[in-house]
């Protein structure tokens, strides 16, 4: 599948998500490389092969509640991590089921075939009291994530340093005691523990990021308000504080990466 067709499908997914969110008064934000593309390229980064959006916890819970009735599962389906039979991460995805992107048999067998399709990632912005309190939460989340790794198709210990290998090995053995669905419930309970509290909240973090990024904290006021931005041929929501977000994520975000770094990052997945 060429990159033009990848972008066409991803745009269909984004448009459907936008339609559903507007209809149900759900606020979302273009996020990560999709936000960067909106600002720098007025659309897709030319070599990017996926889409990312973020929602605050309250909006994500509303989206989760209405997703079943809003998406035609023959064409597009919302895949929540708790339904997977193996573990890759805790990210919710909207997949496009009419065309297969990754045709290797491994993707057919893994996570009920979810990864053979193109998708939009939905990241959850959860509340944090302070940087200090988040440090303790991160240890808990990493512990639970380690338990979930026991449900990987294969654990590649080469990705980890010496002490990390030992910890992952031990946690992956303990994790087999629990059902994957139970581990997910543990993770979600810890991730949204501050949700709905009345105390002053200073920060947000992406609770379902890959674990190596779980330490990143965003100022909550960066996600207070949205504005519309043309992305390809359609207006989507972005944060009014997109400059602060992009500067935090990328530094000099208007500068193009080196030529050798301008490649698709999701064509081949480690599963």
Residue 199 placed within a domain? no
Residue 138 placed within a domain? yes
**pLDDT score at 52:** 97
State both tokens at 211.
Answer: 């674990």
**pLDDT score at 57:** 96
Overall domain count for the chain: 2
**pLDDT score at 96:** 95
Rounded CA gap, 185 and 230, in Å? 37
pLDDT, one tens digit per residue, over 198-248 is: 778 889 999 999 888 889 999 999 999 999 999 999 999 999 999 999 999
**pLDDT score at 147:** 95
Residue 197 placed within a domain? no
Residue 174 placed within a domain? yes
Residue 266 placed within a domain? no
Are both 135 and 71 inside the same structural domain?
A: no
Are both 138 and 123 inside the same structural domain?
A: no
**pLDDT score at 82:** 82
| List of the chain residues with pLDDT < 70 | 271
pTM of the predicted model as reported, rounded to 2 decimal places: 0.93
**pLDDT score at 265:** 79
Are both 95 and 11 inside the same structural domain?
A: yes
Are both 53 and 179 inside the same structural domain?
A: no
Are both 58 and 34 inside the same structural domain?
A: yes
**pLDDT score at 156:** 81
Are both 108 and 7 inside the same structural domain?
A: yes
Nearest to 205 by CA among 187, 189, 192, 196: 192
**pLDDT score at 108:** 77
Are both 71 and 88 inside the same structural domain?
A: yes
Are both 175 and 146 inside the same structural domain?
A: yes
The mean of the pLDDT values for the chain is 91
Range of the domain at 159: 131-191
Residue 56 maps to which CATH number?
3.30.460
């Amino acid at each position: 599948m060429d990159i033009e067709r990848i972008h066409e499908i991803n745009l269909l997914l984004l448009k459907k998500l936008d339609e559903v969110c507007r209809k149900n008064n759900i606020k979302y934000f273009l996020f990560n490389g999709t936000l960067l593309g909106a600002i720098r390229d007025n659309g897709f980064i030319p070599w990017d092969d996926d889409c990312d959006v973020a929602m605050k916890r309250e909006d994500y819970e509303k989206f989760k509640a209405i997703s079943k009735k809003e998406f035609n599962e023959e064409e597009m389906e919302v895949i929540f991590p708790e339904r997977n039979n193996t573990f890759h991460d805790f990210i919710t995805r909207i997949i496009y089921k009419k065309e297969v992107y990754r045709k290797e048999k491994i993707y057919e067998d893994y996570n009920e075939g979810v990864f053979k399709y193109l998708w939009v990632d939905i990241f959850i912005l959860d509340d944090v009291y302070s940087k200090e309190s988040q440090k303790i939460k991160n240890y808990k989340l990493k512990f639970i994530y380690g338990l979930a790794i026991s449900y990987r198709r294969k654990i590649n210990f080469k990705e980890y340093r010496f002490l990390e290998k030992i910890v992952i090995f031990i946690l992956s053995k303990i994790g087999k005691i629990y059902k994957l669905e139970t581990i997910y419930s543990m993770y979600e309970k810890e991730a949204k523990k501050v949700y709905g509290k009345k105390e002053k909240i200073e920060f947000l973090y992406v609770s379902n990021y890959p674990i190596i990024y779980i330490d990143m904290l965003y100022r909550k006021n960066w996600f207070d308000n949205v504005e519309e931005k043309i992305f390809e041929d359609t207006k989507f929501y972005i944060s009014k504080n997109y400059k602060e977000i992009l500067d935090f994520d990328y530094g000099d975000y208007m500068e193009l990466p080196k030529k050798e770094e301008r490649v698709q990052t999701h064509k081949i997945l480690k599963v």
